[in-house]
Chains A and B, each alone.
Chain A
Amino acid sequence: MSKATARGGVPRRPGDEDDICPVCKSSRYLNPNMRFLVNPECYHKMCESCVDRIFSQGPAPCPVAGCNRTLRKQRFRKQTFEDIQVEREVDIRKRVAKVFNRRQDEFETLDDYNDYLEEVETLTFNLLNGVDVSATESKLTEYATQNASIISRNATLEHQESANLEARQAAEREEARLRREAARKEEEDEKKAREEGRKEVLEQLVHGNKPAADVVKESKRVELLKRRRAQQSRALPALPSGTPSANSNPFTFKGLKSTAAPTPEKPYDPFGGLTDERSYYTLQDYYEHPWLDRARTDTHITAGGYTVTEYCARAMFEAFSGLGVFVGEEVAGRGDLPGGNGAGDAVAAAEAAARAEKGVS
């Protein structure tokens, strides 16, 4: 550091102390236009002239002692961040993010998405800190080849979204500008109209022979009419001007879901997808049984709406209701219920409670 300050004449600037090329040792004092470049292969810093000198003839090993990586001139670039570690991390993150560009709406639940993010972060961490680099790299490339189509689709989506956002913001800005302009114009017009009206009144007062109060009253009425007309004329063209911002680009929705072509609307099913078909019997309209005859004919019973048909349907249903029930399947299906509770548990608990109730008495 003391060396840097010792350089007389040249005023000291922040970062000056590093202004010596680690390769050729030339300093900013000798070459005021010196620019430093790095290669994301090893991030060793060197000046532009060194890069030209060493790598113009094609790929060459890094001149920094101990670093034997082969570098290409094409990949040298200017450093964005002062800290080379940050520079490197950003590069790696960019590379990973380009491959792992899944979106939240591709996942069923937020938990899944978070798990995915964590996985990606682990991978990034490994790359950053040199843990299992070769294995991680191969994982990355494998994923990239396997999911090439999804990656490219998401990339285009992202691109589109950012473009849409920009377009929308531009449209909003334009709209705001138009609104401001319109407001300004309106104000001006109103001022002018008022001025004119006043002038007219003065004129009439000077030359006319009507009483002053009438003149003033008349002028006020006229002004009101004018203003109303002006408002109407303004309201009419304002309508179309409001719509183009919404219509010009049909894809200006933010957070659009990336669904495939919308599925055609199914016709409304009043039964909600259920049927009342019984698979083991067909219900007859009439079942002969002497016991039922009075219930069919007695007006005391039928007038209230009681029908034997319902009873028959139920009797038939109950007679066949054990068939086709497979306990194993039903038990497996119970897992879907929240709490994993089947009716069985509910029954048991209810029975327990009922029994307990009896005990109280």
Chain B
Amino acid sequence: MALSPAIPSPHTSNTNSVTAKVKTLNMGGGAAPQNTTSTAGQGQELAEQLNDETKKKYVKDKKIGEGTYAIVYLGHLRADPKSKVAIKKIKVNAEYREGLSLDAIREVKFLQELSHPNIPALYSVFSSKNQNLNLVLEYLPLGDLEQLIRDVDGVRYGSADVKAWMGMLGRAVWFCHENFVLHRDIKPNNLLIAADGEVKLADFGLARSFSDPYRVMTHQVITRWYRPPELLFGARYYSGAVDVWSMGTVFAELIIRTPFLAGNSDVHQLELICQFVGTPNDDNWPGVSKLPDYVPFGKDGSQSYPVRGRDFYLQTFSTVGPVGVDLLMSMLSLDPRKRATAREILNHKWWATDPAPTKKEDLPKKGGGGEARMAEDLKRRAGELEDGRGAKVARILDFSGMK
């Protein structure tokens, strides 16, 4: 810990004192800008000053939720008491004692780059005492899509609403991919609803930018129910197609109002995919057997299912009509290379067919509980579902259940 000679510290000998510690810490970067000496009266560094300024700009009103990963506050701008923001205070937890949690870094990195109506805005970042990282996010009061899907008795929606929601999700994913970002955790409870009904794709805790050739990526991403088969087979080189599969499962879930492929283990998930989408083999997915964790399904006596035809989808997802079913099928293609891209999805003719998507102001909403819900969604760790809705996502593949 080098102390900058530019700032005289009265506590050089006693680094345990709080003030000295703060100063010392901020010198961690090494080069202290010389021009800060003009304000050296307070002994503050430029970055610290900026941070203080930002911090003073916002007022935390009340805590609206706390989880293992973060505490969420409702806050507002000091200058404008009517403004509302969500302040997500990332906890310095035991797991990441060495620095910032990876989720927080990813979230800051991507949210500040992506500015789109369907992606929540990150207004500011500041650190508060104890070096807690605070993200100032757009306040999204109306809960998430999962709430609407699950509230079968309280909320009714039709294919026009599904189209509007999928359209907004599609835009968000397309925008991410267009900016070379893989979201890798698309699911209904990451789709938060703004006050005006706009759906926003939140939680970039698992996001990463597109990989360079020959650079491996982890396959332990995306909540299991929405995880594509190539990740379940341990693919280390993948593309935006993984997000498209998640979109497809979300689309299916929106229609049938229950998770389409709700596996309770990774193996079970693959079994469900085999059963409802089709059993992957080298014919319908050339090269699948070369994937690291490939397990041949449909051999050794267990049943092999052919890839489901249009009839099955028409039967199960009849409400969106034949054109919508075509779109869904293109998203749920086993072979990621044959899967539609986000751009192809938005160019699909389903958007132009009747019924037109509902306007965002007229979309069904759930009354009440939004505040608490946003807190729930924010404080959750990426890639996790809350208790009571399936077990926690295993981050390690476990094939011990296989014969």
Contact = CB atoms under 8 A, between A and B. Distances in A.
A352 B48 contact: yes
Contacts of A268: 167, 351-352, 356-357
A62 B121 CA distance: 70
A355 B28 contact: yes
Interface in B1-54: 1, 24-29, 47-48, 50-51, 54
A346 B239 contact: no
Interface string A329-351: 00000000111010101111111
Contact of B211 (A306, A349, A355, A358): A306
A82 interface: no
Contacts, number: 187
A348 B99 contact: no
B238 A304 contact: yes
A299 B97 contact: no
A98 B83 CA distance: 35
Given A270-B171, A339-B58, A359-B24, A352 B235 contact: no
Contact of A270 (B58, B85, B170): B170
Interface stretch (B124-132, B295-303, B388-396): B124-132
Contact of B118 (A265, A272, A295, A314): A272
Contacts of A360: 25, 131
Q: Is the interface of B mostly helix, strand, loop or mixed?
A: mixed
Q: Is the interface of A mostly helix, strand, loop or mixed?
A: helix
A355 B45 CA distance: 13
Interface residues of A, number: 49
Interface string B267-310: 00000000000000000011110110000000000000000000
Contacts of A141: none
Interface in B229-254: 230, 233, 235-242
A149 B131 CA distance: 61
Interface residues of B, number: 80
A304 B352 CA distance: 32
Interface in B112-144: 112-113, 116-118, 121-127, 131, 133, 136
Contacts of B230: 303-305
B54 A349 contact: yes
Interface in A140-181: none
Contacts of B136: 339
A280 interface: no
Contacts of A341: 54, 57, 123-124
Given A299-B290, A339-B58, A356-B131, A347 B239 contact: no
Given A303-B285, A304-B236, A339-B57, A361 B51 contact: no
A247 to B, nearest CB: 23
A345 B54 contact: yes
A276 interface: yes
Given A270-B171, A303-B287, A361-B99, A352 B357 contact: no
Interface stretch (B314-322, B339-347, B368-376): B339-347
A305 B239 contact: yes
A122 interface: no
Interface in A218-248: none
A320 interface: no
A56 interface: no
Nearest to A307: B239
A306 B58 contact: no
Contacts of A350: 108, 112, 125, 133
Contacts of B236: 304
Interface of A: 265, 267-268, 270-272, 274, 276, 291-292, 294-295, 299-308, 310-311, 313-314, 317, 337-339, 341, 343, 345-361
25 contacts: A300-B291, A301-B214, A303-B288, A304-B238, A306-B211, A314-B209, A337-B123, A338-B121, A339-B124, A339-B136, A341-B124, A345-B124, A345-B125, A346-B124, A349-B54, A349-B127, A350-B125, A351-B29, A352-B51, A353-B100, A353-B125, A354-B105, A357-B92, A359-B1, A360-B25
Interface of B: 1, 24-29, 47-48, 50-51, 54, 57-58, 77, 83, 85, 92, 97-100, 105, 108, 112-113, 116-118, 121-127, 131, 133, 136, 167, 170-171, 174-175, 178, 180, 209-214, 230, 233, 235-242, 285-288, 290-291, 335-337, 339, 343, 346-348, 351-352, 356-357
Given A300-B291, A310-B240, A360-B131, 6 more contacts: A274-B116, A295-B213, A299-B287, A301-B213, A311-B210, A339-B77
